[in-house]
Amino acid sequence: MSDTPLGVNKRKFCEYALSFADVRQALELRQRHQAAEARVAATGDEGERLLGFGQYSKMTWGQLVASDDREHRSFVRNFVLKKTDCVPGSRLQQFQSYCRRRLERPPPPSLPTGDSDSDATDVEDEELLAAVRRIERG
C-alpha cells in the first residue's frame, strides 16, 4: 500500500472495478484457476484442473469424470468424448484426452471383503510391515 498519488488512484480504481459483479466473478474464477493449477503442479494430478468453460466451469476434471450425477456423465460421454472437431491444444481437447485416459484405465483390483473362508487373506500386521520393509530395501 502506497500513499503516493498513483497508489491512491490504483486503490480507488480497484475498489471501483470490484463494485461490478462481473469483475468480482471473473477475479474469483481466476483465483480458483490459479489455485487449481498450483495443486496440479504440487500433486502432478491433472484431475485437479478446473474445466474452465461451460456450465461446469467451476468443477475439476476429476470431479466431473468421477461424478455419479447423470447430467455430468451425459456431458462427458455424449458431448466431450463424441466431439470430433476440437481445436488442438484447446481446453476442451485437453479435457477430452484426460477423459479418454481416465475411462480407459482398468478399475483398481477389488480388496477382499473378509467374508471368504480362505485364510490366505488373513495376514498379520507384522507380516505386512515386514513385507513393506523388504520392498523398500529393494
Name the stretches of the chain with pLDDT < 70.
1-2, 106-123, 138
Burial class (CB in 10 A: 0-12, 13-18, 19+), 63: middle
pLDDT for the residue 53: 84
pLDDT for the residue 66: 92
- Alpha-carbon gap, residue 16 to 28, rounded angstroms: 16
The per-residue pLDDT for range 28-53, each reduced to its tens digit, is 989 999 999 999 999 999 999 999 88
Written as nine digits, the cell of 19 is 463494485
pTM: 0.61
